[in-house]
Amino acid sequence: MNNTPPPEPPDDERLISRCQAGDMQAFGVLVEKHKRRAYYTALGLVGSHDAALDVSQEAFVRA
């Protein structure tokens, strides 16, 4: 039985630095970490499921 806790995920600053260096895996981690909040924020602004998906996806692409 392994009692070692799982490693802590990298913080956003480190992930962003890695993204800026071209690390697509870091980008994927950031998207997974924040996509739910981005979607619900967009949904509150645009009021439509489809539009919220488009807006939240566009936000990640532009970032």
Question: 9 and 25 in contact (C-beta within 8 Å)?
Answer: no
pLDDT, one tens digit for every residue, the chain (63 residues): 577 777 776 799 999 999 999 999 999 999 999 999 999 999 999 999 999 999 999 999 998
Position 1 scores a pLDDT of 59
Total residues found in the chain within this entry: 63
Nearest to 31 by CA among 7, 8, 3, 62: 62
Give me the helix-helix angle, 12-20 and 24-46, nearest 10°: 110
Position 7 scores a pLDDT of 72
Position 8 scores a pLDDT of 72
Position 63 scores a pLDDT of 80
Question: 17 and 31 in contact (C-beta within 8 Å)?
Answer: no
